[in-house]
Amino acid sequence: MSAEIKKKYGDDPIPLAQQWMKDAGEVELNDPEAVCLATADSDGRPSNRMVLIKGLNEQGVKFHTNAHSHKGQDIAQNAHGAMCLYWKATRKQIRMEGVIEALSKAEADEYFASRPRNRQIGAWASQQSRPFDAWQDLEDSIAHYEDKFKNVDVIPRPEYWQGYRLVPELIEFWIASRDRLHTRFVYTKTNNKAWTAQWLFP
């Protein structure tokens, strides 16, 4: 364990991750909250994709998606997941590993209600990750739900549109340095829920 890391960066990695995200938000041109989410099915076959973080705090990293999507099905089979944030503008990276848990219906409802109306319609219209034959199929589905909800002030959340949280057990920080001798250090949560810290060779 390295007391040197905690002296420099703090005992808890979450405030540091929040600060790095804040810093990136001020200089990154597009989607500083975008993260690569990796999941795996029951056989351990991995897949990954970009999602948008909707919250990062002591509880974990929050995101929302269609539970019937590829990632949603993976999570239902295998709760272990990983995330990687990288910002070209700051030359920094955060990597996390942990368990993904479902948010409460109340939390999912709250986020869905905050979405613009056209995105709420899109959540109803799109059978995420499923194939379809012609682009008109999607256009027709959108038109159907626009008509269905045209006189509805508050569009309800589809049951399959859920919120999730990656609860990190490991958080690695990476800072680009010259000669590929990058600064790397990792926080790991122990059984008593405290964080240990360790330098990693680049």
**Active site members:** 180
Distance (Å, rounded) from C-alpha 53 to C-alpha 31? 10
Output 180-186 pairs: Cβ under 8 A, ≥24 positions apart. 185/2, 185/5, 185/9
With contact defined as beta carbons under 8 Å apart, do 179 and 87 qualify? Answer: no
Query: How many Å apart are CA 57 and CA 146, to the nearest integer?
Result: 35
Nearest Cα to 58, choosing from 6, 90, 29, 16? 16
Q: Is 51 left (phi over 0), alpha (psi -120 to 50) or beta?
A: beta
